[in-house]
Amino acid sequence: MNPPLYVPIISDEELSQIASAFLEKHSQSDLLPVHIEKICDREGVGLLIVPDLTSLKNTEAYIANNCEVIVMDQNVFETQVDRARFGIAHELSHRILHTAHLEQFPISDADSYEAFHSAVSVDNLAIIEDQAYSLAGHLLMPSNLLNAEIERLINEEAAGNELTDNIIQRIVRALAATFMVSADAMLRQIKKVNNLLHQAITDETRAILVPPYVRAPVIASIR
């Protein structure tokens, strides 16, 4: 029987620094949007696109073969590019953060995946998924670039006037388009890196930007 999975404790500040160093390594520190698919190529991580993965495996993406191949649903990859980018960044984050921790689980098929899940508590699984989610956010929306863009857009859109809901909605949409992420992912990252803008976002604006029918964040599993 495998020993329990050791889960690293990593602060959000540390995750931001890890993302920054990783982007610098791949000469993507000041490029927008971050070219996550190119980074995969440079890291030697293969992309395997599978038709109907979501219905076959109940997940849109996962990382396999000792974190060397990211498997992704074809429909998501082709028609929901922002979502696909976040999914790839999420799986890449598992590789960056958890490869060493997952070495004891040679996950390659359904049986080994079940063994992995039974060895990891729900809480620990949630922690490593949260870490991958946060690092993916920092990879696609680096705080320095995001804050610079927020400042530029506020100056451009508000020009010293009050930040109304309409202006904020335009700003968030423009940010999401620039960074090629969903409005939902952008709102979560703004909460982390720019408290001023975050405080100005009302529940009403949030509901307009991320309607209730929008699906939850990318469901991705380590396999």
Partner 1 sequence: MNSTFANFIKERRLGQDLTLRQLCQNTGYDVAYISRLENGLIDAPSDIEKLKALAKAYSIQLGSETWMEFSDLAATSRRSVPEDTYANPVVPRFLPVFYRKMRKDKLTSEDIKQLTSLLTGESAE
Among 10, 12, 14, 37, binds partner 1 (CB under 8 A): 37
**What is the residue-wise DSSP string for 166-192?**
HHHHHHHHHHHHHHT--HHHHHHHHHH
- 50 near partner 1, rule: CB under 8 A: yes
Minimum CB distance to partner 1, residue 174 (Å) = 24
Query: Considering only CA atoms, which of 222, 216, 223, 150 is closest in space to residue 189?
Result: 150
* Rounded Cα distance, 27 and 203, in Å: 37
Q: Which amino acid is residue 123, in one-letter code?
A: D
Minimum CB distance to partner 1, residue 73 (Å) = 10
Among 13, 24, 30, 41, binds partner 1 (CB under 8 A): 41
In this complex, which beta carbon is closest to partner 1, that of residue 47 or of residue 115? 47
* Rounded Cα distance, 205 and 88, in Å: 28
In this complex, which beta carbon is closest to partner 1, that of residue 73 or of residue 129? 73
List residues bridging with 66 in a β-sheet. Answer: none
Among 31, 48, 110, 214, binds partner 1 (CB under 8 A): 48
- Is residue 49 within 8 Å of residue 75, measured between CB atoms? no
Residues in the chain, total: 223
| Listed ranges 2-10, 44-52, 160-168, 192-200: which one lies at the site for partner 1 (CB under 8 A) | 44-52
Cis peptide before 142 (omega within 30 of 0): no
- 10 near partner 1, rule: CB under 8 A: no
List residues bridging with 61 in a β-sheet. Answer: 72, 220
In this complex, which beta carbon is closest to partner 1, that of residue 51 or of residue 211? 51
- 62 near partner 1, rule: CB under 8 A: no
Minimum CB distance to partner 1, residue 52 (Å) = 10
Q: Which of residues 70-129 bind partner 1 (CB under 8 A)?
A: 74, 77-78
- Is residue 45 within 8 Å of residue 80, measured between CB atoms? no
Interface positions with partner 1 (CB under 8 A) = 35, 37-38, 41, 46-51, 69, 74, 77-78
